[in-house]
Amino acid sequence: MTAFGPIEWRKSSHSGPEGDECVEVADLAVAIGVRDSKNPGGPKLASHLRRAKLRALDL
């Protein structure tokens, strides 16, 4: 949950096809959140990459 409401996580296109290497991403308005879908309550990473860079990475 952020000050703007709940965080909406989605599976990244870079996740493995078998479902065993899943990465989820979320648009946090001022950053991009990244987490391991197998451990959603675990550590998360926030990156301040620009949206153009994210599109280039296909996240």
Kindly state whether residue 5 falls inside one of the protein's structural domains: no
Give the integer Cα–Cα distance in Å for 26 and 59. 9
Kindly state whether residue 4 falls inside one of the protein's structural domains: no
The secondary structure of residue 52, as a DSSP letter, is: H
Q: Give the helix ranges, DSSP H, for the chain.
A: 51-57
Q: What is the pLDDT of residue 45?
A: 81
Which residues span the domain enclosing 40?
Answer: 10-57
Kindly state whether residue 1 falls inside one of the protein's structural domains: no
Map residue 45 onto helix, strand or coil. strand
Give the integer Cα–Cα distance in Å for 5 and 59. 21
Between 20 and 28, name the one with better pLDDT: 28
Q: What is the pLDDT of residue 33?
A: 85
Q: Is the pLDDT confidence value at 3 over 60?
A: no
Kindly state whether residue 26 falls inside one of the protein's structural domains: yes
Q: How many domains does the chain have?
A: 1
